[in-house]
Amino acid sequence: MKLLHKDIEKDNAGQVTLVPEEAEDMWHTYNLLQVGDSLRASTIRKVQTESPTGSVGSSRVRTTLTLCVETIDFDSQACQLRVKGTNIEENQYVKMGAYHTIELELNRKFTLAKKSWDSVVLDRIDQACDPAQKADVAAVVMQEGLANVVLVTPAMTLLRAKVEVTIPRKRKGSCTQHEKALERFYEAVMQAILRHINFDVVKCILVASPGFVKDQFITYLFKEAVRQDNKVLLENRPKFMLVHSSSGHKYSLKEILCDPTVTSRLSDTKAAGEVKALEDFYKMLQHEPDRAFYGLAHVEKAADALAIDTLLISDKLFRHQDVPTRSRYVRLVDSVRDNGGNVRYQLSFERLTMLLGVAAILRFPIADLSEAEEDSSSEED
């Protein structure tokens, strides 16, 4: 993401102009947008025209509209973002108050205005515009006939290619068709890796599968690399790491990233930090439960006691459309930061969702708050 202009007043109202440069930037933009914001961007509008003879025709024209945002629709697979709202500035093609849907495009600037820019939204802009936040982990999750090539960033997992090839079963006395199909499949996966993985940025490529599919593929990959004298693959051979997975589907990536051998290898990558923070919380919950709190009410009380060392909070909570509720989460983040704590914005991990979207690792133990409340209520009685 590129920041072209930023104008925010002392009362936190203002606007920013941004240019999304890659698919992941659409995810960041989705997290920046809220109902009630105003969005100015280039779009295409179907316009009806009437000729002097009375015949009516229609044409598609490119124009710039400013909408008051009403609905936000994000397609995570295609990384497409559509924003629907009413026009709030005069335009020769669109009346004031008319509805329109803008589909934000890569490499086309947009201006987003808000009545109040809070710290979490400004953090999101800094994160999106930081070149160091690029995907430095790639994974090929595969099984016979199916492979998913994905890039893992601190913010999200991007599916770059899905390879599907029908593999016939081995027949008694002849394996020719099976072997030919496997070779076609491995070749397609190899081409997907070369097309979608930037070896200058990526530090580690995880190749995961059930059984021996991964081993056979790696053997094929480097045999072909030698035959074709492909220097990119040969020079980056140490970056490939073989891992077991239960299937070749994308959801297996979660179990792969939690594998201890993988986390130690990925220790210097940004994506691993998000997974490790959640693992640390669960270890603390198991061994020192008085230093692991979850649920908004309990975590807020720990923040009031200046006890939070690391706050884990789901980015899903900041898309809450109820302003007072969202403000409560923002105040919690600001409080932890002001008191020297770390804040980790987590993807919408199911494991964090089970903890009500917010959890904290404490600097020092605090007695279970629910027990303390029961004791105080019994004393009052």
Higher pLDDT, 187 or 172: 187
Tell me the one-letter amino acid at 350. Answer: E
Give yes or no for a contact between 355 and 297, defined as CB atoms under 8 angstroms apart: no
Residue 371: is its pLDDT beyond 90? no
Q: How confident is the model at residue 230 (pLDDT cuts 50, 70, 90)?
A: very high
The tokens describing 171, both together, are: 């027949």
Distance of CA 222 to the CA centre of its chain: 31
Same fold, 136-268 and 272-362: no
Domain at 272-362: CATH architecture: 2-Layer Sandwich (3.30)
State the SS3 of 2-65.
EEEEEEECCCCCEEEEEECCCHHHHHHHHHHCCCCCEEEEEEEEEEEEECCCCCEEEEEEEEEE
Q: Which fold has domain 2-129?
A: SH3 type barrels. (2.30.30)
CATH superfamily, domain 136-268, is: eRF1 domain 2 (3.30.420.60)
The tokens describing 123, both together, are: 């953090």
The pLDDT tens digits for 296-350 are 999 999 999 999 999 998 878 887 777 788 889 999 999 999 999 988 876 645 5
Cα angle 124, 130, 135; round to 5 = 95
* Domain boundary assignment for the chain: 2-129, 136-268, 272-362
The pLDDT tens digits for 262-309 are 877 776 565 666 677 888 898 999 999 999 999 999 999 999 999 999
The length of the chain, given as a count of residues: 381
For 346-380, the DSSP string reads EP--HHHHTTTTEEEEESS----HHHHHHHHHHHH
Give yes or no for a contact between 257 and 154, defined as CB atoms under 8 angstroms apart: no
Strand order through the sheet with 308-314: 292-294, 358-362, 308-314, 342-346
Distance of CA 159 to the CA centre of its chain: 11
Which residues face 72 on adjacent strands? 83
**Counting beta carbons within 10 angstroms of the beta carbon of residue 354, is it exposed (0 to 12), middle (13 to 18) or buried (19 or more)?**
exposed
